[in-house]
Structure 1
Amino acid sequence: MSHSFKALHLAESQIAELDLQLLRRRLRATESACDTKSTVDGRELKAFCSNDYLGLANHPALIAALAEGAKRYGVGSGASHLISGHSVAHELLEKKLASFQSQHIPQARALFFSTGYLANLTAITGLVRLAPSGQASIYSAKLNHASLIDGVRLAGAQNKASVTLFDHTQLDSLTESLKNDQKPFKLIVTDGVFSMDGDLAPAKALLQIAEQYDALLLIDDAHGFGVLGKQGHGILEQDNLNSERLIYIGTLGKAAGVSGAFICAHDSFIEWLIQKGRPYIYSTATPPAIAHTLLTSLELIEGEEGQNRRTHLRQLIEIWKKEMVFAQWEKSFSSTPIQPVILGSNANALLAAKLLDEAGYWIPAIRPPTVPDGSARLRITFSANHTVDDLRQLIHQLKQIEQTSMVQAS
């Protein structure tokens, strides 16, 4: 091979640099269904790392619904929504998703996507195109998910929108920036539940700011949909918000247990995104069988079983808060199924994950750039399928591993 192949040399040298920084990620293939126990490399591990918060990913009713959907609609959609890929299954799902938010968004309408990443890219880039080039401002929370960050960057590049980052725990700087912003279009972008810390966005305060300064408020509730609110409708239900300014994005591959995502907003905004949202226009539609399956998932989320599962999750969270006491490791405050344990260095996080793996647990180390430098962690997540005994065994194991790692580190 020619030594002049510089791109290959760059790839190999930079991968080596990732190894030196303990930042190289590696794939692990599971051999079983998503649940609280996973078979990985021929070993059964207790999994506390998935986003299947309600434990629906392997639910018999959803398995049956997917089989029924495939029998009725086949396994592919064949084209984008605007060509021939939009099925009655998609239509029914979008109407049901809109009904979930109808008390919070006037004239609510929903648009279904294959992933949350696509939904966020479409919403941000499409909405910013409502303004002439250079006449839009975007205000983005510093700890937003990568899909929001990329949507903001793309919108800024495409439409010359100004971008300002803000701290969601301290809103004075956001208010001050908006006070001096004379542009005709302003968009505030935030996660509903911050995926690496598990804390909630101050949605009510952000909406008040948006109303005061004539901005839209986009909330990506990927980790709140299905979990927050009495009926699992998400952060808008929990905080009892109502406004035409709300752009709500929910994910359907986490608590809903299946796949996909959606944007819910006032009908006029959704119609605009259908006309101008490039990722939506130019993507093949999700298989209708998936949309059909999600209709059953939404019934479970909204019904008695969903309420019981959320009640059990809250019980697990309370036990963790009371009983998981560390000697040195840092536990973040979270009222959600996301419970991070901050270990600081990449080496500390990798060691803890290795010791957990040896003890039969699957909880990967989370390192930069997913989290800020110096805040590598274990991201522990609960499922409604975890029992109280499962959690208490984990707590016992973590206490032992903390002691072991402290000895090895010294």
Structure 2
Amino acid sequence: MQGFEHLEEELQQMKTDSVFRSLIPLETDQGAKVMINSREMIQLSSNNYLGLTTHPRLKLAAVRATDKYGAGTGSVRTIAGTFTMHEELEQKLAAFKHTEASLVLQSGFTANQAVLSSILSKEDVVISDELNHASIIDGIRLTKAARKIYSHVDMASLESALEASQDYRKRLVVTDGVFSMDGNIAPLPEIVALAEKYDALIMVDDAHASGVLGRNGRGSVDHFNLNDRVHIQVGTLSKAVGVLGGYIACPQTVRDYLIHKARPFLFSTSHPPAVTAACSEAIDVLLDEPERISRLWENTAYFKEELLKLGFDTGKSETPITPVVTGDEKKAHELSDKLADYGVFAQGIAFPTVPKGQARVRTIVTSDHTKPLLDEALAAFEKAGKELELI
């Protein structure tokens, strides 16, 4: 069909630049090893931090809920799509996060959009870290509020933005708890101190901290013992929690307001019973099996240390997200392809996901990886890195 020639040209240029990538279907469940094109490979690109996607308790909860309540809910929650299990999940999440209330949405992406597009107006200002997730950026685009960007984790830059914003009705400081491409942790104690100094609200996106940081995986706010000092916490149920969805942990007032004003909530059918029940069971697993988080961090420390010994640049990562930085975009994809040849699935990441000149292969180890598997992956990194003259 004619009319999309300009898109074809752009796609062709991506192929010329060796940055065009096709989707890669998995033929098995999301484990430490996966099957791709009938080949077994070590999985280092999944957000399945704790191995919960295949946890027997989650699978059983999903099956039982489907059998009892059906495959779907049939409506948005404000009309007829709220089940008792939705309310119970949100109450459990609020207790887990030490907040008054919580609200579950279809994804972490829509949760950020819901908050930012709903609670801010032209009388307000949102102040955002320059490396915040795309969902925060898009959420800010949907609001009429003024916006200011501060340099990444730069507290002097943040304070300057706060000082220049005192004439607005409300100031909302927004940051990732863990930054998804670099794996570094936001300096929340300093951010909270500045926000309190200037009477600003704070919103933390804990997508990559949920299930990873804090007691039993409660997130970065709990990690820094800042409960009751952060106004809104957004997170995902799709990564370490192992299922699907996003949540907003917040005061009851915010929850009530979002139910009436947040378009992603108002115009999306509620989570099916299987998803809701599995998410609820996942919270219980986080409480019952803290050893999964301990194992995750043991694997993380080992893998990072060995990559550094080999001579790779892993940036400023402090978490299981460990980038292997190549800088050059073509090189990142070449490294990913070489690793695949040697049985390791680790995706190359380039612009626009990361800034130009900061391309990398982004890896995530999980609690399900064994030391022999990590050693096998490290051997592949060493071989590929030497062939590409990266080390």
Bucket of the pairwise TM-score, normalised by the shorter protein? over 0.9
> What do residues 6-61 of structure 1 show as CA deviations (whole Å, max 9, x unaligned)?
x3111211211222333323111111111111111221111011000001111111
* 2:222 counterpart residue number: 237
8 Å Cα contact 1:55/1:257 also seen in 2: yes
Query: Residues 118 and 213 of structure 1: is their aligned pair in 2 closer, same or farther, counting only changes over 3 Å?
Result: same
Counterpart code for 1:139: I
Residues in 2 aligned to 1:191 and 1:38: alpha-carbon distance in whole angstroms = 29
Instruction: For 1:404 and 1:340, locate their aligned partners in 2 and report how far apart those are by CA, in whole Å.
Output: 19
Q: Output the CA distance in 2 between the equivalents of 1:168 and 1:374.
A: 17
Alpha-carbon distance in 2 for matches of 1:245, 1:314: 25
Aligned equivalent of 2:123? 135
Question: In the alignment, what sits opposite 1:110?
Answer: 102
Report the counterpart of residue 389 of structure 1 in structure 2: 372
What's 2:160 paired with?
A: 176
Distance 1:21 1:186 in 2: 42
CA deviation vs aligned residue, 1:341-361 (integer Å, no higher than 9, x gap): 100111111111111000011
How far apart are 1:229 and its partner, in Å?
Answer: 1.2
Name the amino acid aligned to 2:112.
Answer: N
Identity of aligned residues (%): 34
Superposed, 1:75-114 pairs within 5 Å as 75-102=71-98, 105=99, 108-114=100-106
Count of residue correspondences: 390
Distance 2:104 2:92 in 1: 11
With 378-387 and 200-209 compared, the bigger mean Cα shift is at 200-209
Distance of 1:169 and 1:245 partners within structure 2:
17
Amino acid paired to 1:318:
A
RMSD: 1.6
Determine if contact 1:126/1:273 at 8 Å carries over to the other structure.
yes
Contact 2:105–2:264 (8 Å) recurs in 1: no
Letter in 1 for 2:196: E
Choose which of 138, 144, 147 in structure 2 pairs with 1:163: 147
Contact 1:326 1:399 in 2 (8 A): no
After superposition, where does 1:245-394 map in structure 2 within 5 Å? 245-303=230-288, 305=289, 307-325=290-308, 329-394=312-377
Q: Distance in 2 between matches of 1:174 and 1:154?
A: 22
Amino acid paired to 1:191: D
SS at match of 2:137: helix
In structure 2, how many angstroms separate the alpha carbons of the residues matched to 1:360 and 1:168? 35
**C-alpha contact (below 8 Å) 1:138/1:187 kept by paired residues:** yes
Q: Per-residue displacement from partner, 1:131-180 (whole Å, max 9, x unpaired)?
A: xxx2111111111111111001111xxx2x21111123211111012112
Higher mean C-alpha deviation, range 80-89 or range 34-43? 34-43
Q: Does 1:398 align with 2:381?
A: yes
Contact 1:340 1:380 in 2 (8 A): yes
1:341 and 1:368 map into 2 onto residues whose CA distance is 15
C-alpha contact (below 8 Å) 2:127/2:161 kept by paired residues: no
Q: Find out whether 1:69 has 2:65 as its counterpart.
A: yes
- Structure 1 residue matching 2:228: 3-state secondary structure: coil
Offset of 1:391 from its aligned partner? 1.2
Unaligned segments of structure 1, at least 5 residues:
none
- How big is the shift at 1:328? 5.3
Please give the alpha-carbon distance, in whole angstroms, between the structure 1 residues aligned to 2:171 and 2:58. 40
Kindly provide the amino acid, as one letter, of the partner of residue 12 in structure 1. Answer: E
Distance in 2 between the 1:382 and 1:354 partners? 19
User: TM-score, normalized by length of structure 2?
Assistant: 0.96
Q: Secondary structure at the match of 2:149?
A: strand
Contact 2:192 2:229 survives alignment (8 Å) = no
Residue 120 (structure 1) aligned to one of 106, 109, 112 = 112
Provide the rounded CA distance (Å) in 1 between the counterparts of 2:20 and 2:172.
35
Q: Spell out, residue by residue over 1:61-101, the C-alpha distance to the aligned partner (whole angstroms, 9 max, x if none).
A: 11111100101111111111101011111111000000012
CA distance 1:285–1:203, change in 2 (3 Å)? same
Code of the residue aligned with 2:201 in structure 1: it is: L
Q: Offset at 1:245? A: 4.8
Contact 2:117-2:262 at 8 Å conserved across structures: yes
Contact 1:89–1:289 under 8 Å retained in 2: no
Q: CA deviation at 1:324?
A: 2.1
Asked if structure 2 preserves the Cα contact closer than 8 Å seen for 1:337 and 1:381, the reply is yes
- Provide the secondary structure at the position in 1 that maps to 2:388: helix
Structure 2: how far apart are the matches of 1:173 and 1:333? 19
Whole-Å separation in 2 of the counterparts to 1:123 and 1:391: 39
Distance 1:84 1:47, change over 3 A: same
- 2: CA distance between counterparts of 1:162 and 1:276? 20
Q: Is the 8 A contact 1:244 1:265 kept in 2?
A: no
- Is the 2:150–2:161 Cα contact (8 Å) retained in structure 1? no
Match of 1:192 in 2: 177
| Contact persistence 2:128–2:150 (CA under 8 A) | yes
**Structure 2: runs of 5+ lacking an equivalent:** none
| Distance change >3 Å, CA 328–CA 344, structure 1 → 2 | farther
What is the SS of the residue equivalent to 2:4?
helix
Conservation of the 8 A alpha-carbon contact between 1:203 and 1:239:
yes
CA contact (8 A) 1:244 1:266 kept: no
Q: Look up the SS of the partner of 2:152 in the other structure.
A: coil
When structure 1 is superposed on structure 2, of 351-360 and 7-16 the one drifting more is: 7-16
With structure 1 as the length reference, what TM-score do the two structures score? 0.92
2:45 maps to what in 1?
A: 49
> SS state of the match for residue 61, structure 1?
helix
